Amino acid sequence: MDRSILIVAPDKDAHASALATVLRSEFGVEAVVWDSASFPAQASLSLTLDAGTDFDIDGPHVRLSLDRLRSIWWRRPNPYRVNHSVTDPKVRSFCAYECDALFKGALDVIDVPIINHPFHEQRAAYKPFQLWAARRAGLAIPRTLMSNDPAAIRAFWDSVHGRCIYKPFTAPFWTMSETRPLTPEDLDDLDTLRHAPIIVQQKIERGLDVRVNIFGDAVFAAAVETHVAEAALDWRMDLTATWREHHLPDNVAASLERLLADLGLQYGCIDMRQQPDGEYTFFEVNPSGQFLFVEIDTGQPLVRALAELLMQAGSLASLQSPSTHALQFARHP
């Protein structure tokens, strides 16, 4: 077996499992899925800044060392799970912050490529920053207001003659947060915005919703066909939606690649809408988005493209000098 690839993801994550299968079957590389929720209650992590080069993780009968680790996919880390014996909320919060300081700090100093690095991924997930970066990259974006000011939102609503939508900055973990039209009835409840701001955008007329998955310099586009009226604003509302391969103009693809480079990302899932006149409008980029559903419908080799990216990143890193520190994982007895 070649050097291993670490996938930081929940144990039963479908994307992690699919990638691990492709890496083993097509590249002969072992992939280890590690759930960050096991730290610190079940797992120990140790970083030594000396001549040590060990990177050990107690996974399913697999042990890794730093010099055998090729690259890392920062898929979807779970929150750290502090042992239930720590009951004080302030102390539990402190423990979680300390775990984050060690884990992410260690990722900054080990000589292993990370796709995507958590620092860049977190920054890219901020909607104000990614929309600004998209416009700078030459992409069209909707007219946008982000605010908790009811008067400002009413004025925006009037300026676009009520043709606008709204959505949250982040998806609540307990419910679906689909894009919705901002109706006159909603305007009566705007005082609640004092508690949390929203994103309000001019509605882009119905066209063709396009999902672009980018892995390094490999760009794949697919268009969705929906079958229910509720999906007119958000295709996720149609569980029967189907996807087909879509030809993306070279200039749009180049702008998207520039956007990801500006965001410090090597992988991202982008949502756009092509209007009837052929123009494309950028909606958002998800630095760790889902893509298996597109591969199933279109046959595009998305998992393999990610595997190749992780393999290539590891090959480039192997040409650099070896690390002089150790990152160790071990299971508590």
69 or 30: whose pLDDT is higher?
30
Residue type, 76: R
Q: What is the pLDDT of residues 60-114, one digit of tens each?
A: 334 555 667 889 999 999 999 999 999 999 999 999 999 999 888 888 877 789 9
Beta-carbon contacts of residue 217 (< 8 Å; ≥ 6 apart): 257
Tokens 């595997």 locate to: 307
Greatest Cα pair distance, the chain, in angstroms, is 66
Q: Give the residues across from 206 on adjacent strands.
A: none
Q: What is the mean pLDDT of residues 147-167?
A: 89
* Integer Cα distance of 268 and 306 in angstroms: 11
Residues 6+ apart with CB under 8 A from 105: 47
Give the pLDDT confidence score for residue 291 in this predicted structure: 95
User: Using 50, 70 and 90 to split pLDDT, how confident is the model at 55?
Assistant: very low
For residue 247, CA distances in Å to 205, 219, 251, 257, 258 come to 20, 10, 12, 16, 18
Highest mean pLDDT among 25-39, 146-160, 210-224 belongs to 210-224
- The amino acid at residue 70 is R
pLDDT over 90 for what percent of the chain?
Answer: 51
Q: Give burial (CB, 10 Å; 0-12/13-18/19+) of 200.
A: buried
| Contacts with 59 (C-beta within 8 Å, 6 or more apart), sequence order | 32, 33, 34
Say which residue, 45 or 9, is predicted with more confidence.
9
- The per-residue pLDDT for 231 is 62
**Torsion angle in degrees (nearest 10) through CA of 9, 12, 15, 20:** 80
List the domains of the chain with CATH numbers.
2-116+311-331 (no CATH), 122-140+206-287 (3.30.470.20), 144-202 (3.30.1490.20)
Q: Mean of the per-residue pLDDT values for the chain? A: 84
Q: Is the pLDDT of residue 144 over 70?
A: yes
Q: DSSP per residue over 222-277, as a string?
A: EEEE--SGGGGS-GGG-TT-EEEE-PPPHHHHHHHHHHHHHHT-SEEEEEEEE-TT
CB hemisphere CA count around 136 (13 angstroms): 12
Please check the confidence at residue 239 and state whether its pLDDT lies above 80.
no
Antiparallel, parallel or unpaired: β 198-202 and 144-147: antiparallel
Structure confidence by residue, pLDDT tens digits, 178-230: 678 788 888 887 887 778 888 888 988 778 999 999 999 999 999 988 776 66
183 vs 236, residue with greater confidence: 183
Three-state DSSP class for 67?
helix
pLDDT of residue 194: 79
Percent of the chain with pLDDT over 70: 82
Per-residue confidence band for 294, with pLDDT thresholds at 50, 70 and 90:
very high
In contact, 294 and 209? CB cutoff 8 Å: no
Both structure tokens of 318: 């192997």
Q: Is the pLDDT of residue 276 over 90?
A: no
Q: Which amino acid is at 86?
A: V
* pLDDT of the residue at 82: 93
Owner of token pair 């292993």: 112
Q: If you average pLDDT over each of 34-43, 50-59, 136-145, which comes out highest?
A: 136-145
Which helix (H) or strand (E) element contains residue 223?
Answer: strand 218-225
The whole-angstrom separation of Cα 153 and Cα 307 is: 44
Which residue type does 183 have? Answer: T
